[in-house]
Chains A and B, each alone.
Chain A
């Protein structure tokens, strides 16, 4: 494949390479710096060592899943529980990766980092970019996003280490982030039924098997998404 920059002309003749990765990453920075801050802060409040939040943000970098680590650390959960939580929350990343298959950069290290950096926020940014955006740009966006997350984590860790705060409800920030991500997904894809499906499935499992409701709801949603066939679709495209 020749130089992607030269091929990235949209059908209207304008070069699609005009958006600098920094500009694309700023909206995520607006969320990631405070949210990383909340994560670092809450970890310190829960009694973590100073290096734990930074290590989690660098090595794990899972956004939402990092917050779920906090009660696990407080409660002294086993390695198996950690793995299960990571599996449940991150299963959606399998499909994030699937829809970006045509956007892989050429360099192997860049490729590896791209798969690592696919958090919800990075994915949300990346899926709203025009189709001609070169793959390297997606990787830079992912890299910048993690930088913001690390900066936020650092600030929050410093604040949290300074002393404990008596406010409750700060972890609402995570819930707010989920809501914001939901709104942005709906804005781009307009699949409003997906909200109803998710809520109904969760409610079903919440009232029958509350212990595993999150995992079962996620699994059922994935299963439904795979099996759902809009009207008029030829069945032959499901042949593997």
Chain B
């Protein structure tokens, strides 16, 4: 797995000469990462374990919470921490229900 990752990451550096400064590269770089992140988010929810009968509502709600926190606060740690804590508490009612 490491070898594949290394090879893939090194690939563009070897093809540098004929790829340099092409506008297509700038366009791809501004478009692709967001699309891939969106796919990963949807894939993680769709293939994740169902921790409650309400699936996928808690997952979607907590993701929206993370997105809102990140957009407004710009603090990645805060967004991740609060979102994950909310989700974990929601999925583990025995932790806070007496």
Q: Which residues of A are interface residues toward B (Cβ below 8 A)?
A: 27, 30-31, 34-35, 59-62, 64-65, 69, 82-83, 85-87, 89-99, 101-102, 104, 111-112, 115-116, 118, 120, 123-124, 127, 166-187, 189, 191, 194-195, 197-199, 201-203, 206, 213-214, 217-218, 221-222, 225-226, 228, 230, 233, 237-238, 240
A62, A180, A226: the one contacting B80 at CB < 8 Å is: A180
Given contacts A31-B76, A34-B77, A191-B34, are A98 and B28 in contact (CB under 8 A)? yes
CB distance from A76 to the nearest CB of B (A): 15
CB distance from A53 to the nearest CB of B (A): 14
Q: How far is the CA of A30 from the CA of B77 in the complex (A)?
A: 5
Given contacts A180-B76, A180-B80, are A101 and B30 in contact (CB under 8 A)? no
Which B residue sits closest to A30, measured CB to CB? B77
What residues of B have a CB within 8 angstroms of the CB of A86 in the complex? 1-2, 4-5, 8
Q: Is the interface of A mostly helix, strand, loop or mixed?
A: helix
Query: Which 5 A-B residue pairings sit nearest by Cβ, starting from the closest?
Result: A99-B29, A97-B12, A198-B38, A198-B35, A30-B77
What residues of A have a CB within 8 angstroms of the CB of B20 in the complex? 101-102
Q: A180–B70 contact, CB under 8 A?
A: yes
Given contacts A30-B75, A35-B80, A169-B87, are A174 and B13 in contact (CB under 8 A)? no
Q: Which residues of B are interface residues toward A (Cβ below 8 A)?
A: 1-2, 4-6, 8-13, 16, 18-46, 48-49, 51, 59, 62-63, 66-67, 70-71, 75-77, 79-81, 83-84, 87-88, 90-92, 95
Q: Is the interface of B mostly helix, strand, loop or mixed?
A: helix
Given contacts A97-B11, A98-B29, A99-B29, are A199 and B4 in contact (CB under 8 A)? no
